[in-house]
Amino acid sequence: MNDSSYSFSTGSIFIKERWITEINADGEIKASIEVFFKNQAKIPQRISCYYEYLFPRSENKPAHFISLNKQVIIEGSSFKIPFNELLEPQGIFKLEIDAIFRGTAHYDGLWWDVSLPLKYGVLPPHELIIECYLPMDAEEIKNRSKHQNQEVNESDKKIDLVFTNSPFFLKIAYKLKIVNDFTHKGKELLIESSKKNLTDDDIKVISNRMPVINYLCKKLSKPEYKPLKDKSFLIILHFLKDLIIFLKACEKLGLEPKNSYLFYKPYLYPHKDIIEKYLEGKYNIYPLDLKFLSEFLDEKKDELHDIIILEDGGYIVPLIHDTFPGLLKSVIGAVEQTSKGIKRDGEIEEPQFCILNVAEAKMKSRIEPPYVADAVVYNINTLLSNPNLRNKPIAILGFGTIGSKIAQKYKNDGVNVTIYDSDPLARVDAGNQGFTVEQYPERAVMDKYLVMGCSGLTTIKSKEILSLRNETYLVSTSSDQSEIDIESLQNLSKKSDGDILTNDETGKKIGTDYTIRYINSKIHLLADGYPINFWYSDSMPNEVSDFVLSMILISCLELVINKSNFKNGINNIDSLVDKYEIAQLFEQFQTIKR
């Protein structure tokens, strides 16, 4: 969709494309394209616009391009499909297109090199997801695209791309190593992929790994006792499988999916699409985008009431205080589970409601960090194909609950670890534990093989980036892209979008390479600056997330039944953990498991 007028409410229409491709022996690419438009609003919405494909280079224009259910207007390099469709709430319209491309695939005797440059103009902040299914007889896939929100699933022969900006250029580019005859099995793949839904048995397996929250739910829920009923929930949590068990527990205490709004973080972590598919149609689901979040609150401000906010990262609480003061009186309270979110919430000058601090609960601070540290080290080793870091220099910026555990783990493995923390006491603590300590971050990162941000703040800025040696790996353990100033990294680089960084053995994307202007040093940004412990990984076992989500559950409950016990601003929840005996329950179930 480009510059044409449109008449649907902002943020309410979501778009998903599915490409099924085949290549014949002449290098001709056939693509069956399905485009799904879904109305996420509670009222009918009309799509009145053009959905447009632009092919910037004439040699990449399709030789054949028809829609099976819509007119196509061809104007030079533009292929426009006019729309004037009324969609009911949760209604879906499917556009079907057949296309043939010639001259875009080249064979060198072993590999097919495929390139399909397109330009889209999707209206922000709407999300476009493209699933590109590749020929099933492709033995290997080497992704050559340079879009950061892209994942290649070799087992499914599929490339997933997520776009939330407009306009943008898309280059579907990959290499295929094909050893069999050129056969098209995309339809079989599509059928097989559609089966990958969560079943009741899957949910039962996950639930059995989370005995604490199940016990609390069974103990607290009664047919006539629904304290979470008639409340508006705004939830920003990772779409991991344990989220389903948490939501089911909340539902038993009265949470109503129709009044619950879930926002998922768009970066790569496993099962996100499966979880979304399981929850959609029941819950209101949106991608997390700050501009969209602001527009959402503006649109919903008259509908939301008795609001409970559950956050991972401190987005909604500061936004309501800064931009939507009229909503403050409608908020019961908030629960925050990350240190970064608590820091953001702590910057609010006069908080107008209570914020329950799960992030710094004594139990979470003592039990969770070793598991996060294990996930961080494991993922780095996996992405870099088990590098030998022994005797290599690394820097860790942030010596808190997570950073200190990671540092100790690497130290035990014989890695030379340098520590920086903005807190002098943390630096003293690190020095007493035998680590090399620097007082300034730019000195800490010099001449290091790997630099890791663990502070929850932006610690790696332009000064630190310019101090990095050639071939340094940058890693973040914090939510989103907060640890590393991505904008400065891009501005300092020869190419702002960088180059795809892949694993030499698997060909899988593991991040982005940036080459710094003038000094020509190459910086490897692992996981594109997103939290390394979530990149292709669940971060921690369900048994550990069990007690964390249990703390969030009891915090929700206490906000409703005992709100007067809390002051406006940040509140410690250690007394609640004791009241509900979560530590004892966790210990008991861990003992039974052993």
What tens-digit pLDDT sequence spans the chain (594 residues)? Answer: 332 323 333 346 677 777 776 666 566 777 778 788 888 777 887 777 777 777 766 666 788 888 877 888 887 777 888 877 888 888 888 888 888 877 666 655 555 566 655 554 333 334 445 555 554 444 444 544 444 444 545 555 555 555 444 433 344 444 443 332 222 222 222 223 333 577 888 888 889 889 999 999 999 988 888 999 999 999 999 888 899 999 999 999 999 999 999 998 877 666 777 888 889 889 999 988 888 899 999 999 999 999 999 999 999 999 999 999 999 999 999 999 998 899 999 999 999 999 999 999 999 999 988 888 888 888 898 888 767 888 899 999 999 999 999 999 999 989 999 999 999 999 999 999 999 999 999 999 999 999 999 998 899 999 999 999 999 999 999 877 789 999 999 999 998 888 889 887 777 788 999 999 888 899 999 999 988 887 766 667 777 899 999 999 999 999 999 999 999 999 999 999 999 999 999 998 877 655
Note if the pTM is more than 0.85: no
> For residue 79, what is the domain's CATH number?
2.60.40
Alpha-carbon distance of 585 to 590, in angstroms, equals 8
- Give domain status of residue 67, yes or no: yes
> For residue 215, what is the domain's CATH number?
3.40.50.1480
CB 459 within 8 A of CB 397: yes
- Give domain status of residue 369, yes or no: no
* pLDDT score at 132: 54
* pLDDT score at 85: 80
Alpha-carbon distance of 252 to 511, in angstroms, equals 41
Last residue of a domain, one of 161, 194, 227: 194
Question: Based on the domain organization, do 62 and 189 belong to the same domain?
Answer: yes
Question: Based on the domain organization, do 88 and 207 belong to the same domain?
Answer: no
Question: Based on the domain organization, do 210 and 345 belong to the same domain?
Answer: yes
Question: Based on the domain organization, do 254 and 309 belong to the same domain?
Answer: yes
> For residue 424, what is the domain's CATH number?
3.40.50.720
State the total domains in the chain. 3
- Give domain status of residue 378, yes or no: no
What is the three-class DSSP state of 239? Answer: coil
66 is in which domain, residue-wise?
A: 13-194
Q: Give the residue among 147, 128, 137, 155 at the shortest CA–CA distance from 19.
A: 128
Q: Give the residue among 138, 185, 220 at the shortest CA–CA distance from 507.
A: 138
Alpha-carbon distance of 585 to 215, in angstroms, equals 9
Alpha-carbon distance of 545 to 246, in angstroms, equals 10
Alpha-carbon distance of 103 to 90, in angstroms, equals 40
Identify the H or E element spanning 282: none
Does the N-terminal peptide bond of residue 117 adopt cis geometry, omega within 30 degrees of 0? no
Please report where in the chains the tokens 């409340």 appear, as a residue.
Answer: 231
Question: Based on the domain organization, do 497 and 560 belong to the same domain?
Answer: no
Instruction: Map 48-106 to HEC letters.
Output: EEEEEEECCCHHHCCCEEEECCCCCEEECCEEEEEEEEEECCCCEEEEEEEEEECCCEE
- Give domain status of residue 458, yes or no: yes
* pLDDT score at 320: 97
* pLDDT score at 468: 96
Question: Based on the domain organization, do 126 and 170 belong to the same domain?
Answer: yes
Question: Based on the domain organization, do 325 and 403 belong to the same domain?
Answer: no
Please report where in the chains the tokens 């534990």 appear, as a residue.
Answer: 433
Last residue of a domain, one of 171, 194, 217: 194
Alpha-carbon distance of 416 to 388, in angstroms, equals 12
Last residue of a domain, one of 161, 177, 194: 194
Question: Based on the domain organization, do 305 and 214 belong to the same domain?
Answer: yes
